[in-house]
Amino acid sequence: MSSLSWNAADITSSPFLPAQTPDKKTHILNHISGSKILMDVRPASRLEVRPRPEMISTGIAELDALTGGFPRGCLSEICGSGSSGKSSVLLATIAAASRRGESCVLIDASDSFDPESGAAARINFGKLLWVRCGKKLSAINPQPSGKSSLVVGHWLLANQSCADFEADDQSPTTKDVVARDARRTTHDDFTQTRSERRLDQVLKTTDLVLQSGGFGLVALDLAGIPQKFVRRIPLASWFRFQRAVEHTKTALLVVSEFPCAQTCVSVTLKLSPVSRKPSEKNSLSQNSNSLGCPTLPPLFGKRREDFSKPTHARLLEGMQIEAELARTRLERKPMQSVKANFATRAVRAG
């Protein structure tokens, strides 16, 4: 009760109160503090500081210095266009988590993970569950009878999914989503586009993985899915995911080409290639001159003489990446746009 009590002395000197005589002011404040309605109101000065969540390393020193890593029990987001380095950061984060001995899940919407890049990034594959979405299951066909039959070609996905969740899933939200997805599968399966199918699989798989628990990092790779489809993911799904990881040791990471998780995100990291200034291009590349491109490739920034070499003497050394902390809910002070630069190194470059 002591923390809930209204301390009149704190407010007496408040500049927001109208000018009153001290006796009258004290009397009013004592009257207010005695009100039962205001018993549960806590002054802003007495609010407890929200505990800072435990952070996991991204595996990149520059990013760790910028954001402190990605928070556990929260939803974080990495955004960036093509060749912006978001997959490289994702692999580095997974590698760091797997090397710490944590189990990781990569839910790959566009089935684009390259195991060779993963091996080069030092991912412990024994700790990585890679879910490749996108395959159309031809044996699963809609059946109007509502019974799941053992005969091939007479299978009802709706019954299957709902029955699975009925066993031990007590979350009504998940049930609703699955039932809705199942209804949609039943009626619109043949009209469902490839991207919609991939997103359906991503959402269902994410639900299952988060309910299973015990994973240190769950990464949703939505890059490669067109924006109009990713935008269709309802906000309720992101809230559900965020609630599922809350107060757990799991860090949920979403990788996409643009921000999509909206207000559920705790940390948003925007990546972009470091572009060279146009003034430098004329002296570098005959290709760029002839094509008249506005900027030069965001790579191999160290060697200007590289453009003058024949193609077989060139080498993709890596990329220069600029990371911007676009959003964070971990700090109480207003978020400022802070940036960090780092470089990636191509596997061929050794």
Of 242, 203, 250, the closest CA to residue 225 belongs to: 203
Nearer to other proteins, 29 or 74 (CB): 74
Among 123, 264, 323, 325, indicate the residue that binds other proteins (CB under 8 A). 123
Nearer to other proteins, 16 or 190 (CB): 190
Quickly count: other Cβ atoms within 10 Å of residue 14's Cβ.
Answer: 11
Q: How far is the CB of 133 from other proteins (least distance, A)?
A: 5
What DSSP state is assigned to residue 277?
P
Binders of other proteins among residues 150 to 209 (CB under 8 A) are: 150-152, 155, 160, 164, 167, 201, 204-205, 208-209
Nearer to other proteins, 29 or 223 (CB): 223
Among all chains, which residue has been given the structure tokens 């984060």? 93
Among 251, 296, 323, 340, indicate the residue that binds other proteins (CB under 8 A). 296
Give the Cα separation of 131 and 312 in Å (integer). Answer: 37
Q: By CB under 8 A, is residue 320 in contact with other proteins?
A: no
Q: By CB under 8 A, is residue 247 in contact with other proteins?
A: no
Q: By CB under 8 A, is residue 314 in contact with other proteins?
A: yes
SS3 73: coil
Angle at 292 between CA 288 and CA 293, to 5 degrees: 75
Binders of other proteins among residues 205 to 224 (CB under 8 A) are: 205, 208-209, 211-216, 223-224
Give the Cα separation of 283 and 339 in Å (integer). Answer: 29
Q: How far is the CB of 162 from other proteins (least distance, A)?
A: 12
Give the Cα separation of 237 and 218 in Å (integer). Answer: 15
Span of 40-48, 142-150, 261-269, 324-332 interacting with other proteins by CB under 8 A: 142-150
Q: For residue 127, give every residue at least 6 positions away whose Cβ sits within 8 Å of its Cβ, in sequence order, or none.
A: 97, 98, 101, 102, 103, 104
Q: By CB under 8 A, is residue 241 in contact with other proteins?
A: no
